[in-house]
Amino acid sequence: MYEKSSALFRQALQYIPGGVNSPVRAFGRVGGTPLFIRSAQGARLLDEDGNSYIDFVNSWGPMILGHAFPPVVEAIRKQALLSSSYGAPTGLEIRMARQILKMVPHMQQVRMVNSGTEACMSAIRLARGYTGRSMIVKFEGCYHGHADALLVQGGSGMATLDIQTVPGVTLGVARDTLTAPYNDLDAVEKLVSAHPGQIAALIVEPVAGNMGCVLPKPGFLEGLRAICDREGILLILDEVMTGFRLARGGAQELFGIRADLVTFGKIIGAGLPVGAFAGPREIMQHLAPEGKVYQAGTLSGNPIAMAAGIALLEALDQNPAVYHELEQKGSWLATGLKASFRDQGLAVQVNQIGSMLSVFFNPRPVGDFRSASDSDPGLFRSFFHGMLKKGVYLPPSPFESWFICSALTREDLEKTLAAAKQIAY
């Protein structure tokens, strides 16, 4: 069934560390051989062996309107004929900036970068430069990319591979990163009290997606905003996953929360390598060349990525009803999964908000990294491979969120539920 993927993986192991270029792709948490994908269309993936799958990874979020979305394909085609990169400004960058700022509340300027990692790293540097402080606060199990300071108590692939500390991240760097459990305001208050006037920024996933989908408790984000206002700390919302996915204006719109800085990832390039960070002009003007906080990138604002992202964001902006549609699909699927597990006598948590959801084989609610880690890895492994055999492609880790795209049909969702009901644990 997976002969070509297995052969390709053996070849990849000779030339690429671990056979993959991003750790979670290696199927390390679930076992087996990673699939090598040939193509994708709408809500379907096709692997090198010709197997078709209903896709709930969606390139880890950006394919919100489905793979090979025609306006995006056409935008890429047109720009590719004009060259893939110039190393000079283009009008596309202005169009993209205008589109982002039109959709996202409270922001006045935006800087394009090349990935979510770079966006978060740069936002932290800007916060330190703006405040003159050195420390940051992050939350256990939240992943903000692989910059050194942000790998402390990280989620995503680190959680998948059970990496507690990262060789190469120096003690000095780690010392400036303070961590608290997600959804725990008291822990944040204690950190702030212990380090008065030293914390530049607090960075948080407004809905965690890197320890599985974990929702903020009522009052949590509002509490963080209040602490930051009181202490002169910048609140950075990492919307690499939630931006333009949970709502037109992201989590700021959905929860009514004002960020000081917000970061975005590959959704603004329709899946191409791109990221951005945005904020009020008062803060953003500290970036070079206007200010002295240095950040640069030859490929920042790449014209193909900009053209693709403009096509996607304009489509979302012009059809806000898509978010209601995605919420309905997510809610319907989550309700069906809960009933299916209940019928099988399994104690399972299904966390869902909008087009993000996760399944935790855990009898207790999951609201932070510790409770997510208490889930049964063996049951998840059986679930993952059972679904794969039935033609449903899920994230190969219990610490990653599922993503729903608008191209998923009712038939796709019904097939997904039917597959979940047939798995033997």
**Which long-range CB contacts under 8 A does 225-229 form with residues at least 24 apart?**
225/257, 225/258, 227/185, 227/188, 227/189, 227/192, 227/202, 228/202, 228/260
Is the distance from CB of 10 to CB of 4 less than 8 angstroms? no
Q: Is 16 exposed, middle or buried (0-12, 13-18, 19+ CB in 10 A)?
A: exposed
Dihedral angle over CA of 90, 94, 100, 105, nearest 10: 150
The CA-atom distances, in angstroms, between 299 and each of 90, 115, 294, 305 are: 12, 11, 16, 10
Which helix (H) or strand (E) is 350 found in, with range? strand 349-353
**Catalytic: 143?**
yes
Six-digit token string for 177: 């990163």
What does the alpha-carbon distance between residue 102 and residue 203 come to, in Å, rounded to a whole number? Answer: 23
Q: Are 391 and 204 in contact (CB under 8 A)?
A: no
Q: Give the chain's length.
A: 425
Selecting among 55, 182, 260, 266, the annotated active-site residue is: 266
C-alpha distances (whole Å) from 80 to each of 84, 114, 267, 296, 297 are 5, 18, 19, 23, 20
Non-local CB neighbours of 94 within 8 Å, separated by 6+ positions: none
Catalytic one of 143, 182, 323, 393: 143
Active site residue 260: no
- Catalytic, 138? Answer no
Q: Which residues does 110 contact at the CB level (< 8 Å), separation at least 6?
A: 97, 100, 101, 276, 277, 278, 284
Tokens representing 409 are 């049909």
Q: What is the identity of the amino acid at 345?
A: G
360 vs 83: CA distance, rounded Å: 46
Active-site residue among 238, 260, 368, 376?
A: 238
Widest CA span in the chain = 61
SS percent in the chain: helix, strand, coil, step 5: 40, 15, 40
Q: Which residues are catalytic?
A: 143, 238, 266
